[in-house]
Chain A
Amino acid sequence: MNTEAIKDLLYKMADDQLILGHRNSEWTGMGPLLEEDISFSSMAQDKVGQSYVLYKMLHELGEQEPDTVAFTRNADQFHNCQMVELPNGEYDFSLIRHFFYDNAELLRFQALTSSTYEPLAKAVVKFRGEVRYHVLHANTFIKQLGSSTDEAIAKLQASIDILFPYALGMFEKSKFENELIAEGIFTGEESLIEPWIEAIQKIIDQTSLQLPDYKTIKPINGGRYGTHTKDLQPLVEEMSAVFRVDPTADW
């Protein structure tokens, strides 16, 4: 099997999980209501936990230890899509990102359950069960808030308009796309787009919100190849502050 192609796939997934997990954790103690504070904190823990499983898989393939990989790289060495690194903004912004991201992720995990790379195929079965709750959480809130007050609808719509091009960047193709598909490791980014649009459209249709036509929107790509916004490096520095002071610290 093409190990470099597998590593590329694992890195982008692990980095997405770690970075969004970190952003979610920034809601701890700051949520608009206690239950949401707890929800974003729990989703953070799930995502960081899943990233750890993926970094361990990378370690088995010859990469460094999970903590080293997570805490010692600079922003331009991360493969996450740009959407996950954007600052949380207000709650509506985090919620729309959560809605876009987790619906895509559930489809990605679903597709990977039949991966020919067995360790990943096994792990995503587990991840899928966990992320189902994330998707249900996002969909429930979008349905309720997206058909509530004018202010809520306007705020959510503004966040959709800003985030949608970034969301399409989730599906930026790997340079190993053909190999991954040919070897049955992954069905490919393109295979996720239509089902993703369908999944989110189904929820949006139950609200007063609107999705742009994705065919007319230019995706904001680059993240998978190390091009990031100015917001990633400060995140990485904060996330790794303790490790950089004392790599043996335990907490």
Chain B
Amino acid sequence: MKLTEEEILVWLEEVKDPEIPVLSLVDLGVITKIAIEDNGKVSVNMTPTFSGCPAMDMMKQEVEESLERKGIANFEVNINFDEPWNSNKISEKGRKALKEFGLAPPPTDTLIVDLDILEHVACPFCDSENTLMKSPFGPTLCRSLHYCNNCKQGFEQFKPINL
């Protein structure tokens, strides 16, 4: 049977973000293109969430290993900015996974014109919006630091990024 792009996308569901092991790269939105050439060669395009993301090489390697495990011999994985990542690329499933992991998902379709946008992020533990931003920068490039006045816990948000 002929291999399809959709099938490869399903396979790649098994590759997770190394820092957020519940989130697949597909749901994170960093797999931007899959193409199968006539000679069977599979090419996958990926794009980083942040230019300085240290996990990018590891993610690329895991995509390559995943293709190998499925018996694909002829493939190429490229990292480029043809379709740059923004936080609206995270799928609904991905947003749910983030919340369950304890990370507030980014607001959708919000233009970051002021840091106030990061205030009152809904707490992933108790859903209260009585929260404070402590810092727009967190333990990784993609996270900000917050505190929930309601359940009295610190939490992190997966930061919104517009381009």
Q: Is the CB of A50 within 8 A of B139?
A: no
Q: Is the CB of B135 within 8 A of A49?
A: no
A interface footprint on B127-138 (CB within 8 Å = 1, 0 otherwise) = 000000011111
| A238→B137 CA distance, assembly (Å) | 26
User: Which residues of chain B (108-156) have a CB below 8 Å from chain A?
Assistant: 112, 114-115, 134-139, 141, 145
Chain A neighbourhood of B138, CB < 8 A: 38, 42
Q: Is the CB of B137 within 8 A of A137?
A: yes
Interface of chain B, helix or strand or loop or mixed? loop
Contact-residue bracket for chain A:
20 to 34
- Whether B161 sits at the interface, judged by CB under 8 Å, is yes
- Whether A5 sits at the interface, judged by CB under 8 Å, is no
| A250→B5 CA distance, assembly (Å) | 35
- Whether A107 sits at the interface, judged by CB under 8 Å, is no
Chain B neighbourhood of A29, CB < 8 A: none
User: Which residues of chain B (86-108) have a CB below 8 Å from chain A?
Assistant: 86
- Whether A46 sits at the interface, judged by CB under 8 Å, is yes
User: Which residues of chain A (128-169) have a CB below 8 Å from chain B?
Assistant: 128-130, 132-133, 136-137, 140
Chain B neighbourhood of A42, CB < 8 A: 137-138, 141
- Whether A45 sits at the interface, judged by CB under 8 Å, is yes
Partner of B50, one of A39, A49, A137: A49
Chain B neighbourhood of A38, CB < 8 A: 135, 137-139, 145
Chain A neighbourhood of B136, CB < 8 A: 39, 133, 136-137
Q: Is the CB of A46 within 8 A of B145?
A: no
Contacts across chains A and B counted by CB atoms under 8 Å: 78
| A90→B81 CA distance, assembly (Å) | 37
Partner of B112, one of A35, A41, A49, A133: A133
- Whether B78 sits at the interface, judged by CB under 8 Å, is no
Q: Is the CB of A45 within 8 A of B52?
A: yes
Distance (whole angstroms) from the CB of A227 to the closest CB of chain B: 29
Distance (whole angstroms) from the CB of A145 to the closest CB of chain B: 15
Partner of B161, one of A41, A50, A53, A129: A129
Partner of A126, one of B51, B112, B114, B134: B51
- Whether A11 sits at the interface, judged by CB under 8 Å, is no
Q: Is the CB of A123 within 8 A of B114?
A: no
| A168→B137 CA distance, assembly (Å) | 28
Chain B neighbourhood of A58, CB < 8 A: none
* Residues A122 and B84 in contact in the complex (CB < 8 Å), given A39-B135, A46-B50: yes
Partner of A125, one of B52, B137, B139, B163: B163
* Residues A136 and B115 in contact in the complex (CB < 8 Å), given A43-B137, A48-B52, A126-B81: yes
* Residues A49 and B51 in contact in the complex (CB < 8 Å), given A125-B81, A128-B163: yes
Distance (whole angstroms) from the CB of A11 to the closest CB of chain B: 17
* Residues A122 and B82 in contact in the complex (CB < 8 Å), given A38-B145, A49-B51: yes
Q: Can you report 24 residue pairs joining A to B where beta carbons are below 8 Å apart?
A: A35-B137, A35-B145, A38-B135, A38-B145, A39-B135, A39-B136, A39-B137, A42-B138, A45-B54, A46-B51, A49-B50, A49-B51, A50-B51, A123-B51, A123-B81, A125-B81, A125-B163, A129-B86, A129-B163, A130-B51, A133-B112, A133-B159, A136-B115, A136-B136
